[in-house]
Structures are given as structure tokens and as C-alpha cells.
Structure 1
Amino acid sequence: MTASTAGSDPPVDGGETLEQMQARHRKEQRDLQGRITNKKKNATKKTRKFVNDECAELERQLKERQEEELRRLLGGGGEGEEEEEEEEENGVDGVDGDGQSRQGPQPSSQVDGLAATLNGTHLSSSSGNASASPSQPGPKQKRNRQKERLARRAAEQLALAEAAANEAANMTDHRAVEREAMQREFAQHKLKEVEIAPDGHCLFAAVADQLVRLGIPVSGGAREGGEEQARPVPGYKAVRKAAADYILGHADDYAGFLAAEEGGDGGVEAYAARIRDTAEWGGQLELSALANAYGVEVRVVQGAGRVEVIRPSTAADGEGEGKERKTVWLAYYRHGYGLGEHYNSLRAETDG
């Protein structure tokens, strides 16, 4: 999927002031954030990675364009001004507007004037700001316009940074809000979190961690590799296979859900193969399959301050509703990780 352009470049040389440009940049950022939110909200499990990449590209393009506009606006005047700056930097001899000769580098008093400006004091607009007192007339010193411009630009950039910081402070920190809600739920249920690597296998690795904690066999002794290098199947792979096998064995139960999500492309067999053999993300369907495959109750703590419960069907469980089932606890994040949705394992605080 190719990221669309973040927006056409508006003119920056048509009389737009720094304040107007900052206001327009803030509006563009809000509009883009709204577009990104809608894209992520409407993304499916299959398109989520591509949508995230597209959104990152849109943000990068907008940032680069706005930075370029600021550089163009704050870059000063045209060729004549650039030549004057070069002359002043190199100490080229010339004559100022009052007919006074200027020679070589500017006096140290001009450097003092720049330091005063950066500390909040305005430079004098008079070309004779460093001249001697009336009782002791002396040669008139030329204003160092280049240093004035540098000081002015520094002040404008500081104002821009402060405005951006104020706007950021007023934005909702979804990651912090989610984390706070999750911590409340953990405390209420006396749970502690076990970090799982955000590598695409997180749901299956978290379930594997829970099954080991509960004493439930994960792989059934299965091994992979040749006879000489046979090794136990990693937990997340065994759990992936269990989910895929259950979906294949109950294709009629899952066909309707997969048709709606996959657009009817590939069927149950192709979907189960991706779950078993690739880093395909897992979700609600896989949790349902795993609850039935292992006969456990899955409880998922979510950032909205609620716990979703997924139970195995009675037919698959082979027991009545009164059976005491073991419980798998998971934490589900929507905003807490840079790659997107993520699952961690949860254990009782008393567990080692």
C-alpha cells in the first residue's frame, strides 16, 4: 500500500506571517491526526500493518513540509541581503547608507548587543547605537544586520517551540490513560504483568506462558528439526498449531466469521495455515479456538477498564456448565506499544 501525499504545499511567500503559519500548521496536524485515527479505527487485522506504515509516512511528509516552510519563512531576504551577510561575515570594505566607511570585522560592542538580545533585550534600531557621547564625538559604527537577523530568528524559533509544547501538553495521552486504567484492573484482581515480546506472536506466547503456569501441556511432547537435531517445539508455535487445528476441525463454526473478515479469499484452510506457519497476529477468533482447544476460560484485561471473558463451548469442553475450569489471564493493549495491538501475560501476585 502506498502512502498518499500529506497535502499540497501552500504558498509561504504570499505575505504569511510566522503566527499565521504556526496556526495553519497546527490545523494541518489536527486534520492529519483525525485522518489517522479514522484509518486505524477502520483497519482490519489484515490491513493494520499497512495502515500503520501509511500513517507514519503521512506524518513524516507533513513534518518535513512544515519544517521546510518554516526554513523558507525564517530564511531572510533575497540575493542583496545574502550578499550583504557574506560581506559582513568576511569583513569586506564598503560604505553604509550614511556615507560612512565600514572596515573589516564589526566591533565587540555588536557582539555584546547580540548577547543582550538573546537575554530578552531589544537591539537599538539606530545605526549609531555604539557611538561615543555628544561631548566626545567619534566614528559612527554600522549596525550588524546579520546578527540582528540571527537574534530575531532565534527568538521566533523559541516562540514556535513553546507554542508546540503548549499544544502537546493539551493533547490526550492515550498511552498514559490506557496504562493507568490497566494498572487499576491489575490491582483489583491482584495480578502482576509478564512482558511478552511484541513480535507478532505475542498472543500465542502469552497463552503459552499461562498454560505452563497452570500445568497444562502445551505441545504434547512434539519436537521439530531432524532426528539428530530434534528439539522441543517453542511454546508459541505449539499454541499456534493448536489454534489452527481447532479452526480446521470446526470449519463450519468459523467460516462465516472468516468470510466477513477475509472477504471470502482463501477460505478456512488458507487462514489456518497462516495462523500455524507465519507471524499472523491473533485476535478474538484465535482466543475462542484456544479456549476450546485447551478447555480453559480466557480473561482479557482491557484499557477501557473492563475484563472480557471467553469460555469454551459445552460441547467442546465435554462437561456441564458447573465444571471448575482453569483461567488464563491476558492483558490487551491498543496504545501502549509502537507496533500496534499487543498482549501480555498476567500472573497472580503470589506466583513466582
Structure 2
Amino acid sequence: MEGTTESLEQMQARHRKEQKELQSRVTNKKKNATKKTRKGVNDECAELERRLKERQAEEIRELTGAADGADQEEPQEPESTQETQDEPAGQEQDMNGVATQLQNTSISKDEPNSVGSGGGKKRNRQKERLARRAAEVEAAAEAASQEAANMTDHRKLERTYMLKEFETHKLQETEIAPDGHCLFAAVADQLSSHNIPLISTSVLPTDIRIKEPYKLVRRTAADYMEQHSDDFSPFLEEPLQQYVSKIRDTAEWGGQLELTALANAYGVEIKVVQDGRTETMAPTNHTSSEGGVKTLWLAYYRHGYGLGEHYNSLRTQQPSS
């Protein structure tokens, strides 16, 4: 305060300056407000506005008298408002406009485009990021689809060759469950179709021989490999005993080593139809008996089943009556 020596014009200029300073203070307070402090900041700013307005009105009354003060107070707000309109937007407002701006600067989830709201800008950036991610996912999916369209359909080519071989050799496919035992179960089915006993040096309960014949075939393969270790050890990356234990007692997948062991153990020829070729495992120490060596047929799929490699049994088609 400069006392009674201050003219009305000087006082009004000072009042406008004080209003600008208050506006700057409350705007900064509002911008720094969080969701938890927003209500308190709004109340505090409203109180600052009320105090300033009352003090300035009191100063005008003291300078001009109560009656004249009332007359002078009326035009003050329009004058301030007009000046605000001439200034850049958001820089100056009359005291009644401060509360409106404070309300507009509130951080609100329901008003993502509020003026000065950090929350709105963050939400807009989030939407942009989501849009970019969606576009990236769509582009990746399109690229994957295009790549898939240009890739060789190995499953189709494999199936085409298999069906051709089935027709040539008059074979009918018997599905075997893809459970890790498929090679041994397929061999068991072939042995049964040729009336070959599922012999093993290991002793198994009768119910396993009947309900789970693949276990007997597993034991036969393991026993043969164990008895002819010199023929199989060079091809293993672990001790033979450890390997044959897995073949005998677990769902370890079988392959060419097991087929070789089974061909010799049962004295049969095993032909495996697979993509692009038909491979034959013949017994190496079998003396042909009357009627010759019987042939077991298996189908080996590398691409046809989602779980990976798989064996099915191939039975000779019966002549139609």
C-alpha cells in the first residue's frame, strides 16, 4: 500500500498487477496439483481470489468513500476483462475469470483435452502409443501372412508322397496315438497283423502284454541293444545303460537305432515310408526260414503332426470281395 497519496488510476493499475500475479501463482499451483491434492488446491486458490478481491474493494472504498467505492468497483472488472481480451489467450483474466480457468485446468479423466492438463496430454500420448502398437501388430500379421503364402507347404508335399507310396504298395494306414510311444505301438500293431509273437527276455505281467503291447516292444528293443552294446554305443551321446533304461521304462521317443534293434530282435524287415523316400531296416544276423523274412510297414511323418515326428502303422489292404 502507498497510502492516501495513491491515485485511483494508480491503485487500479496496481490491482491489475496483483490480479496477474495471483493468476500466475494459482495457475502454477494447479499445474503441479495431483489427483490427491487437486481439491485442496482448488479451495486454496478460491480463498486467495476471495481475499484479494475483498482487500482491493476495501482499498477503493477507503480511497473514494463507501458510496463512490461502490460506483468505482463496477467498471473495474469489465476494464480488466477487456484488457485480458487484448492480451494473448491465457495470459490475463479478470478475477471472476480466474476461477473458471482453474476449473478448466483440473486434471480429470473425463476431460482428456482440458487446457493445461498434464493428464490429458499423457492420455493422448498413450492413445498414440496404442495406435502405433496396433499398426505394428497389423503390419507384422500381414508380413507373416505373406511369408506363409510364399512358403513351401511341407505338410502337403509330404502327404502327397505318402499317399502315392500307399497306393503303390496297397497299404492302408492305421492311426497310432501320438503319445511318445508311437514307434513301438506301430511296430506292435505290425507284429500283431503278421501273427509274430511279441517276445522279450524281460518278464512282464499278462495284463500289460495284452493291454499295452508297446511296453513289450520297448523292452525287446532295450534288451537287444543291451545285449549288443558294441553295435549301438558308438552312436549314443550318453552311457548305453542310461539310454536303454529310458527306452525301456519311459516315453522316450524311438528312432532308427530302435528300429534296427527291433528288425534284428524279431528277424523282420522294416520299411519306413517318409517324405521323399522309403527306408529299409533289414536284419543283419537272421537266417531265412521257410517263407522268407516278413516285412513290416510304418509311415513316418516329420510335418504332418503338430507335436512333431510321428509313426503310424501301414497294413496291407485286403482284397475286396
TM-score (norm 2): 0.54
Out of 255, 267, 287, the residue aligned to residue 318 of structure 1 is 287
Residues 219 and 235 of structure 1 are in contact (CA less than 8 Å); yes or no, is this contact kept in structure 2?
no
Q: Which residue of 1 aligns with 2:217?
A: 239
Out of 259, 282, 288, the residue aligned to residue 234 of structure 2 is 259
Q: Which residue of 1 aligns with 2:153?
A: 173
1:273, CA displacement in angstroms? 2.6
Residues 200 and 217 of structure 2 are in contact (CA less than 8 Å); yes or no, is this contact kept in structure 1?
no
1:241, CA displacement in angstroms? 1.4
SS at match of 2:191: helix
1:221, CA displacement in angstroms? 12
Letter in 2 for 1:231: D
1:299, CA displacement in angstroms? 0.6
SS at match of 1:90: coil
Change (3 A) 1:308 1:157: closer
Residues 173 and 313 of structure 2 are in contact (CA less than 8 Å); yes or no, is this contact kept in structure 1?
yes
Question: CA separation in 1, counterparts of 2:130 and 2:309?
Answer: 46
Equivalent pairs counted in the alignment come to 206
1:303, CA displacement in angstroms? 0.7
Residues 210 and 345 of structure 1 are in contact (CA less than 8 Å); yes or no, is this contact kept in structure 2?
yes
Letter in 1 for 2:273: V
Q: Which residue of 2 aligns with 1:199?
A: 179
Q: In structure 1, list runs of 5 or more residues that go unmatched.
A: 1-83, 97-144
1:301, CA displacement in angstroms? 0.2
Q: Which residue of 1 aligns with 2:251?
A: 279
1:249, CA displacement in angstroms? 2.6
- Residue by residue over 1:275-330, the C-alpha shift from the partner in whole angstroms, topping out at 9 and shown as x without a partner, is 222222211121111112111111100112x11111112xx32237x952211000
Residues 223 and 231 of structure 1 are in contact (CA less than 8 Å); yes or no, is this contact kept in structure 2?
no
1:93, CA displacement in angstroms? 7.7
Letter in 1 for 2:280: V
Q: Which residue of 2 aligns with 1:90?
A: 110
Letter in 2 for 1:271: Y
Letter in 2 for 1:328: L
Q: Which residue of 2 aligns with 1:110?
A: none
Out of 156, 163, 173, the residue aligned to residue 143 of structure 2 is 163
1:155, CA displacement in angstroms? 6.7
Change (3 A) 1:312 1:92: closer
TM-score (norm 1): 0.50
Larger fraction in helix: 2
SS at match of 2:311: strand
1:337, CA displacement in angstroms? 2.3
Change (3 A) 1:250 1:91: closer
Letter in 2 for 1:235: P
Cα RMSD of the aligned pairs, angstroms, is 3.6
Change (3 A) 1:184 1:90: same
From the CA coordinates, give the structure whose radius of gyration is larger: 2
Change (3 A) 1:246 1:338: same
Residues 223 and 232 of structure 1 are in contact (CA less than 8 Å); yes or no, is this contact kept in structure 2?
no
Q: Which residue of 2 aligns with 1:114?
A: none
**Percent sequence identity over matched residues?**
53
Letter in 2 for 1:187: E
Letter in 2 for 1:246: Y
Residues 170 and 316 of structure 2 are in contact (CA less than 8 Å); yes or no, is this contact kept in structure 1?
yes
SS at match of 2:236: helix
